[in-house]
Amino acid sequence: MQSLMQGKRGLVMGVANDHSIAWGIAKALAAHGAELAFTYQGEALGKRVKPLAETLGAKHVLPCDVEDIDSVDATFAALKDAWGKMDFLVHAIGFSDKNELKGRYADTTRANFSRTMVISCFSFTEVTKRAAELMPDGGSVVTLTFGGSTRVMPNYNVMGVAKAALEASVRYLAADYGRDGIRVNAISAGPVRTLAGAGIGDSRAMFAFQQKHSPLGRGVTLDELGGTALYLLSELSGGVTGETHFVDAGYNIISMPHPDALRA
Ligand code: NAD
């Protein structure tokens, strides 16, 4: 098992702290032999991310704000200089103004709609394109999405619309890059208590509801999300591309809560 990612190099974007989904993924990849580089958004987060990345032996820990295309280009130029080529990419980046992650979707402003789409959706296309240029031997790319993309989740609002577009991007990018041997997939994670997760209005109630009513009767762990990313980024999933893979304790299959759960 140790050899699953041996000799493979890749970039993990989206670690803010050790509660981040990207951190759970990074640990799983490193445990299976991958060499990792990381990006962080701004120096304040850099102070947290750099020591974490060091624990996994990362030599390249780079600032990157996806709103600033120059910093995206600088990140991939640095990786090209350091590595020449790469094998995988993790995109675990999302943002929307938390004032619009409550109330009605209809009240979303044009400015926040655009910003949310650029950071949470289009950045995936931009980084996949740049990573693909460094994948002459093929590769695998993963992003993170949420079930609020296809079903209405109170307060998720514009993020749900951005995640729907992100999932469509996964399919289009999978078609664009398939003949280059580059696979593109999304993990649709159940609720996890992270900085981004806490920004959603009434997030505690939403987390508790999903945990109570999912078939497994619980939430999901960073280790479980890491294990799924390991599968999608390794040869174990060699024939899989363009998929949105749920890791949500089965919540997405439920039509209505079990009557026993409603009575409890
Ligand atoms: P997190 O707060 O730990 O990570 C979000 C990351 O996005 C942070 O590292 C932040 O720095 C980064 N980011 C935001 N704006 C950026 C920008 N302009 N440039 C570069 N980076 C930027 O939270 P998380 O929950 O681990 O989020 C990771 C991904 O997982 C997000 O796409 C999120 O929507 C998705 N997701 C989260 C949950 C959940 O319940 N937490 C569920 C499903 C999907």
* pLDDT average, residue stretch 245-263: 91
Instruction: List pLDDT tens digits, range 4-15.
Output: 999 999 999 999
Mutate to test the pocket of ligand 1, among 13, 120, 144 (most ligand atoms within 8 A of CB): 144
- 163 counts as catalytic: yes
pLDDT of residue 2: 58
CB count within 10 Å of CB 99 equals: 12
Give every strand in the sheet of 182-189, ordered side by side: 60-63, 35-40, 9-13, 88-91, 139-145, 182-189, 244-247
- How far apart are alpha carbons 217 and 184 in whole angstroms? 30
Q: How many Cα atoms occupy the beta-carbon half-sphere of 44 within 13 Å?
A: 0
The answer, yes or no, to whether residue 104 has pLDDT greater than 90, is: yes
Number of domains in the chain: 1
pLDDT of residue 16: 98
| pLDDT above 90: percentage of residues in the chain | 95
Catalytic residue among 27, 163, 177, 251: 163
The answer, yes or no, to whether residue 232 has pLDDT greater than 80, is: yes
Domain of 120: which CATH number? 3.40.50.720
The answer, yes or no, to whether residue 260 has pLDDT greater than 90, is: no
Catalytic residue among 8, 40, 156, 251: 156
Please report, in range form, the residues annotated as the binding site.
14, 20-21, 41, 65-66, 93, 163, 192-196
The residue type at 72: V
Q: Is 185 in the pocket of ligand 1 (CB under 6 A)?
A: no
Q: Regarding predicted confidence, which is higher, 53 or 2?
A: 53
pLDDT of residue 228: 98
pLDDT of residue 117: 98
Instruction: List pLDDT tens digits, range 134-180.
Output: 999 999 999 999 999 999 999 999 999 999 999 999 999 999 999 99
- How far apart are alpha carbons 176 and 170 in whole angstroms? 10
The answer, yes or no, to whether residue 60 has pLDDT greater than 90, is: yes
Task: Residue 56: give the domain boundaries.
Answer: 2-263
- 172 counts as catalytic: no
DSSP at 191 = P
Contact criterion met (CB below 8 Å) for 245 and 187: yes
* 192 CA closest ligand 1 atom index: 40
pLDDT of residue 262: 79
* pLDDT average, residue stretch 240-253: 98
The answer, yes or no, to whether residue 1 has pLDDT greater than 60, is: no
- For 192-212, give one letter per residue: b (16+ CB within 10 A) or e: bebebbebbbebeebbebbbb
Please report, in range form, the residues annotated as the binding site for NAD(+).
14, 20-21, 41, 65-66, 93, 163, 192-196
Contact criterion met (CB below 8 Å) for 65 and 88: no
Q: What is the ipTM of this complex?
A: 0.99
Mutate to test the pocket of ligand 1, among 12, 20, 114 (most ligand atoms within 8 A of CB): 20
- How far apart are alpha carbons 151 and 72 in whole angstroms? 32
